[in-house]
Amino acid sequence: MTTVVPTSEEDPVLSVVRFTAEMSWADAGAETAEPEVNRLCVEAQKCMIEGRWLDLVSLMLASADIIFSKASEKDLECVFTIMCNLVKKPESLDQVHEMAELISAKIIQQPNDKPALRLKILFNLYNLLENPYSRFCVYLKSLNLATAGKVIEHILPSFKKMDNFLKEWNLGVKDQRELFLAISNILKENKGSTKDSFMFLTKYLETFSSEDASNMNEAKEEAARAIVDFVRSPDMFKCDLLDMPAIAQLEKDAQYGPVYQLLKIFLTQRLDAYLDFEAANSALLKTYGLVHIDCISKMRLMSLVDLGLNESSQIPYSVIKQALQIDDIEVESWVVKAITAKLLDCKIDQMNQVVIVSRCTERVFGVHQWQELRTKLVTWRGNIAGVISTVQANKITEDSTQAMQGLAIR
């Protein structure tokens, strides 16, 4: 297989054009192929002289499908490295953007053919671009390619840098939605990434405001998915979904209203409310793949948290038994489960049959919780001010006493 080796005798771009043209016309015979190869080289040279870089890229991409099927990966990488470097030529950012769109669109057309190499080419193109929005567009196409080509392992590390990317790209709401939803869908299919998928899905839903009613409908399905993901997760016990307009719109929705009701039960009520809901909506739970036994387990922990927040700091075993609908011998094991899940900080008083709670995790943290926190901080500040005043007063008294003792000695 011929390898592209740029030399001083011919521009690297023309070498690539000649290489790809020869490969494209290889089966046509020398008499037919040679004139066509020369024609393409002349046309490419003309584009370079006239500064028509977009036309040059179009010309080079015309044979991309054949090159991908016939060339070695080493040759392919060389060809597209030279082609991608053309984005450094134009002064117009609009033209650069068009070139990047053209190249990336071609790269992702056949995602199942050498997907890892195609992704590598897109990353190379991304790094050559200076315009933040052009970079974002190429990155978005890389997400689509990684998903369709089943090579998401190559794109996953970039998600850890997303906060930095967002600062650089400075995206509008529409682009943010497309990005967050794409990432959430990728992570959903990746084992062990449930929480990260939920986080990006939440970011997507947060882009919808109450003033954005015209576009709110498009978020209904994803809003319901977020609720189901939260309910299904065995280790997520708090979220801010109830405060989101995209979630709130489901409350009176004919299709998704019961799903919203289920979320409200998990975040604000106890096990008895869930059992009543399940009795009336067992088919709904099965539709969304929710397992009744798993929901009961999670609601028992949620109910225990609610007891810690709303009862006195000392919760009798009998109250826990009744709220969780368990036997006497199970009370302590469920308290231990809550401690292990970091939902409670408490002590178990077996002698007096009570659980002494020192801290509980809030299931939701909305306006009411912020107000409570403010009240506590104000109280603490007052207490600290009182302690400081007392210490200062005692210090003054002590200093005065020592001064009087010094006079008496003289």
pLDDT in tens, the chain (410 residues): 444 444 446 688 898 888 888 887 777 666 677 888 888 889 999 999 999 999 999 999 988 888 888 888 898 999 999 999 999 999 899 999 999 999 999 999 999 999 999 999 999 999 999 999 999 999 999 999 999 999 999 999 999 999 999 999 999 999 999 999 999 999 998 888 999 999 999 999 999 988 887 788 899 999 999 999 999 999 999 999 998 999 999 999 999 999 999 999 999 999 999 999 999 999 999 999 999 999 999 999 999 999 988 767 899 999 999 999 999 999 999 999 999 999 999 999 999 999 999 998 888 755 555 455 466 576 767 778 777 878 877 777 666 666 666 555 55
Sign of the Cα torsion 212, 252, 183, 143 reads negative
- Of 289, 291, 271, give the one whose Cα is nearest residue 334: 271
The amino acid occupying position 344 is L
Report how far Cα 261 is from the mean position of its chain's Cα atoms.
25
Classify domain 291-378 by CATH architecture. Orthogonal Bundle (1.10)
Phi, psi of 359 (to 5 degrees): -155, 145
Residues 6+ apart with CB under 8 A from 178: 140
CB neighbour burial string for 357-391, b if at least 16 within 10 angstroms, e if fewer = beebbebeeeeeeeeeeeeeeeeeeeeeeeeeeee
Query: Are residues 142 and 179 in contact, defined by beta-carbon separation less than 8 angstroms?
Result: no
Residue 259 and residue 277: Cα distance in Å, rounded? 10
Phi, psi of 288 (to 5 degrees): -95, 10
Residue 332, classified by CB atoms within 10 Å of its CB into exposed (0-12), middle (13-18) or buried (19+), is middle
Query: Are residues 320 and 335 in contact, defined by beta-carbon separation less than 8 angstroms?
Result: yes
- Looking at residue 7, its pLDDT comes to 46
- Looking at residue 402, its pLDDT comes to 64
- Looking at residue 191, its pLDDT comes to 84
Residue 304 and residue 321: Cα distance in Å, rounded? 10
In order of 154, 184, 380, the CA distances from 109 in angstroms are 18, 23, 62
Residue 29 and residue 63: Cα distance in Å, rounded? 17
Q: Which residues pair with 314 in a beta bridge?
A: 356
- pTM of the entire structure? 0.82
- Looking at residue 169, its pLDDT comes to 96
Q: How many CB atoms lie within 10 A of CB 223?
A: 27
Residue 293, classified by CB atoms within 10 Å of its CB into exposed (0-12), middle (13-18) or buried (19+), is exposed
